Every structure is written in C-alpha cells, then in structure tokens.
C-alpha cells in the first residue's frame, strides 16, 4: 500500500477533453485559454483574469503591474513556499518577512509590525486553503496581492478570496485543488492594472523576465475547463474527508485544526503534534502513508534571521504534520490513514 501525500484527480473525461484539443492541432495559446480565463473570471467573480504559465509567473506579473521595483519592500509571511519569495526577488524588490498567527496565516498585527515608509505591497497568502483576514489588512492602505494558489473557492464572510485585494494570483500546478498540470492566473477588478499585465505578457512592454511571460497552452486550459465543471464536487469531497478526520482523530494526542473547520477548503489537513516530525514521517511511511511538513522551510531561516522574531512560525513549523487529503482519496485509503495515525499518536 502506498498513499501519497498529494495526488491530482484525473478522470477519463479530462483525458478526452485534452485529446479533443490535441486533435484540432491548435495546442498553443488560443480559444481554450480565452475560455478558461472567462470561466475562472465567472467563478472567482473577478472581472479580469489572465492565464499564465505558472502561479509564480502570475505573481511576477501582479508585482510588475503595481510597479513594484528596486528599493520597494514587499511584506510576505515566512511560512510559505519559496516561490513567493522568488517572485519578489525577481522584480528587484526587497522581501520583508513577517510572522504568522496561530492558524498558519499572517495577521494584521504581524504585518503591521513590518511596515516602513518603503513598503510597496503586501502579499496575503491564503495558506492550506485558510483565508487571511484581508478585510483587516485593507485598513493599512497598502496595495495587496492575494495569493490564492492553495485556496481557489475559499470564502471570507461569504465573499470569495481574491476579491478583497488589488490583485489576486492562482496556481493550477499538478496537485493544487484544480489542475492544468502547470499554470496560473492573475486577476483583478481594475482595467488599468489588467492592461499593464496584458502589455507585459504580450511583449508590448519590455521586461527582462521573459521566461515568466509564456502563456498557458490550450491543452492545459482544456484540462482546467473540464476540472472546473466538477470543482464544486472537489471541494465537497475535501470537506467530507476533513469531517471524517475530525471525528476519527479526536481522541488522539494531537491538536486538530478546529478553529479553521468552517473557514478552510482543506487543500491541506494540518495536525499538530509534539512528537519529532522525522520519526512520525518514518513510522507512517513504513505503513504506506506519506505525510509532509506544512512547508519545507521557513523563509527567515534561509536568511539566517533571528528566529525570535517569528515565534509562531517556528512553533508551527516544528509541530505541523500534513496528512493526505484530496478528492482521489477513497474511503478505504481514508481508513488506512486513520489507522496509521492511531498507531503513531
């Protein structure tokens, strides 16, 4: 038995949709990409959406649209994947790392502590499918890019994430909630911002970041369009698995994410344990269950920054274990995850 930590949910109809596009011979950027942009726009309620080659590319375009440049500071959480940091560095800006709150995401307090006169933007990362309280961040009156790469469809106060800030970015990498294998989208409500993004993507505005300007292909868009048709089912299945985990793991010596139960779309199901992560990972791997840390590395450790500035991130990094949760997980596999956890915790 081998139950991977993450896995896309690809069905025959997905393959058929891609094959139909391939059979037309129109496999680069074309009508399917335009249709995908339109459908993502409808789903997110963002008037303007532009498809990109990746979530990182979408973030680079968002930063360029805000005219973030050398000497500008961009605030982002330390508890996030390195690609977010990479995008900030690529546009020549200075990344400023902030701590997170008890629920894995940045807060208005942790962000405010890092604001200076050079702050040009805030990247609000909705980690694991958990919404950041962007409404509070807006009070800071600093441009906000919402990183929704793990949170397509999540809501805050009945409003979809991505619609609070100035711009939003999404990722459709292989194991994201919705996949196009690789790909991303940058979206917004401002026609002036989207005009800048299109000018950069289409080569009308010079940039040295050419490798990030490649568009999505029609093959990728075909897969995404077909996945979007059943995306509601994807999210429902994640919630069903999460509910099962909450019930079956409640008696174990771990902390379950009760505070995010009604907020998250459960891209990840993070539990907290005082046990050594490597030991738990090895034990579960021997039982065929693959688990991971919440993030592979804390960004401030890459800079050898003072860990005392990031107490919450440090604690959650050491305690968090991400267990398998995805729509392709069947009931028997769910039971195996529970039984393995019961033996290890």
**For 138-184, how does the pLDDT look when each residue is reduced to its tens digit (9 = 90+)?**
999 999 999 999 999 999 999 999 999 999 999 999 999 999 999 99
* Residue 207 clears pLDDT 90, i.e. is over it: no
pLDDT classification of 212: cutoffs 50, 70, 90:
low
Residue 6 lies in a domain: no
- 225: number of Cβ within 10 Å: 21
Residues 198 and 194: their CA atoms lie apart, in Å, by 6
Residue 1 lies in a domain: no
Same domain, yes or no, for 255 and 336? yes
pLDDT the model gives residue 26: 82
Residues 67 and 299: their CA atoms lie apart, in Å, by 24
3-class secondary-structure state, position 15: helix
| pTM of the model as a whole | 0.96
Tally of structural domains, the chain: 2
3-class secondary-structure state, position 121: strand
* Range(s) of the domain holding residue 235: 231-343
Same domain, yes or no, for 90 and 206? yes
pLDDT classification of 199: cutoffs 50, 70, 90:
confident
Residues with Cβ < 8 Å from 202, sequence gap 6 or more? none
User: Tokens 């129109």 sit at which residue?
Assistant: 26
Residues 149 and 173: their CA atoms lie apart, in Å, by 9
pLDDT the model gives residue 257: 96
Segment 204-223 mean pLDDT: 75
Residue 3 lies in a domain: no
Query: What's 58's domain CATH number?
Result: 3.40.640.10
Same domain, yes or no, for 157 and 255? no
Domain boundary among 202, 225, 248: 225
- Whole-number mean pLDDT of the chain? 95
DSSP-assigned letters across all residues of 86-115: HHHHHTTPEEEEE---TTSS--HHHHHTT-
Same domain, yes or no, for 86 and 212? yes
Residues with Cβ < 8 Å from 37, sequence gap 6 or more? 49, 50, 51, 185
Tell me the CA distances in angstroms from 163 to 5, 138, 144, 155, 189, one per residue in order: 30, 12, 11, 10, 8
Which tokens belong to 7? 């896995």
Same domain, yes or no, for 165 and 301? no
Same domain, yes or no, for 329 and 199? no
**For 42-64, how does the pLDDT look when each residue is reduced to its tens digit (9 = 90+)?**
999 999 999 999 999 999 999 99
Residue 107 lies in a domain: yes
Q: Give CA 187 to chain center in angstroms.
A: 15
- 25: number of Cβ within 10 Å: 6
% of the chain beyond a pLDDT of 70 = 97
Q: Is the dihedral of CA 136, 138, 141, 146 positive or negative?
A: positive
Residues 7 and 10: their CA atoms lie apart, in Å, by 9
* Residue 291 clears pLDDT 80, i.e. is over it: yes
Residues 203 and 207: their CA atoms lie apart, in Å, by 8
**CB 321 within 8 Å of CB 249:** no
Residues 24 and 17: their CA atoms lie apart, in Å, by 11
Length of the chain: 345
Segment 235-262 mean pLDDT: 96
Segment 251-262 mean pLDDT: 95
* Residue 211 clears pLDDT 80, i.e. is over it: no
Same domain, yes or no, for 128 and 18? yes
Residue 221 lies in a domain: yes
Residues 53 and 336: their CA atoms lie apart, in Å, by 36
> What phi and psi values does residue 143 have, to the nearest 5 degrees?
-50, 135
Tell me the CA distances in angstroms from 258 to 103, 242, 249, one per residue in order: 10, 10, 12
**For 304-315, how does the pLDDT look when each residue is reduced to its tens digit (9 = 90+)?**
889 999 999 999
Residue 7 lies in a domain: no
Query: What's 323's domain CATH number?
Result: 3.90.1150.10
pLDDT the model gives residue 206: 54
157: alpha, beta or left, given left = phi > 0 and alpha = psi -120 to 50? left
User: Tokens 């990362």 sit at which residue?
Assistant: 125
Q: Give CA 334 to chain center in angstroms.
A: 23
Same domain, yes or no, for 41 and 156? yes
Domain boundary among 205, 225, 245: 225
Segment 28-48 mean pLDDT: 96
Same domain, yes or no, for 186 and 263? no
Residue 2 lies in a domain: no
Same domain, yes or no, for 193 and 158? yes
- 116: number of Cβ within 10 Å: 9
Same domain, yes or no, for 213 and 116? yes
266: alpha, beta or left, given left = phi > 0 and alpha = psi -120 to 50? left
% of the chain beyond a pLDDT of 90 = 91
Same domain, yes or no, for 274 and 143? no
pLDDT classification of 76: cutoffs 50, 70, 90:
very high
Domain boundary among 182, 197, 225: 225
Segment 71-76 mean pLDDT: 97
Residue 204 lies in a domain: yes
pLDDT the model gives residue 30: 84
* Residue 198 clears pLDDT 80, i.e. is over it: yes
pLDDT classification of 208: cutoffs 50, 70, 90:
low
């Amino acid at each position: 038995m081998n139950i991977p930590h993450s896995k896309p949910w690809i069905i025959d109809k997905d393959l058929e949709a891609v094959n139909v596009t391939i059979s037309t011979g129109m496999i680069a950027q074309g009508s399917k990409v335009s249709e995908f942009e339109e459908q993502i726009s409808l789903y997110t309620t963002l008037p303007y959406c532009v498809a990109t080659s990746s979530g990182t590319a979408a973030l680079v375009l968002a930063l360029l649209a805000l005219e973030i440049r050398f000497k500008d500071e961009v605030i982002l959480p330390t508890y996030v994947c390195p690609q977010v940091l990479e995008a900030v560095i690529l546009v020549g800006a200075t990344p400023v790392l902030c701590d997170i709150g008890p629920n894995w995401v940045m807060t208005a307090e942790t962000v405010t502590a890092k604001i200076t006169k050079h702050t040009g933007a805030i990247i609000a990362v909705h980690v694991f499918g958990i919404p950041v309280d962007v409404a509070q961040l807006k009070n800071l009156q600093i441009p906000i890019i919402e990183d929704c790469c793990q949170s397509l469809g999540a809501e805050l106060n009945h409003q979809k994430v991505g619609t609070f800030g100035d711009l939003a970015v999404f990722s459709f990498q292989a194991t994201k909630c919705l996949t196009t294998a690789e790909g991303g989208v940058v979206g917004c409500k401002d026609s002036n911002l989207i005009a800048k993004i299109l000018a950069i993507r289409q080569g009308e505005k010079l940039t040295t970041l050419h490798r990030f300007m490649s568009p999505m292909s029609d093959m990728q868009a075909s897969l995404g369009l077909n996945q979007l048709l059943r995306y509601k089912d994807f999210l429902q299945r994640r919630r069903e698995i999460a509910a099962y985990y909450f019930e079956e793991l409640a008696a174990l010596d771990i902390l379950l994410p009760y505070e995010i139960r009604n907020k998250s779309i459960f891209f990840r199901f993070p539990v907290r344990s005082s046990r050594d992560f490597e030991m738990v990972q090895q034990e579960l791997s021997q039982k065929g269950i693959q688990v991971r840390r919440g993030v592979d590395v804390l960004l401030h450790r890459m800079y050898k920054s003072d860990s005392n500035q990031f107490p919450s991130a440090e604690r959650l990094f050491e305690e968090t274990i991400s267990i398998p949760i995805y729509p392709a997980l069947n009931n028997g596999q769910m039971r195996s995850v529970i039984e393995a956890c019961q033996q290890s915790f």
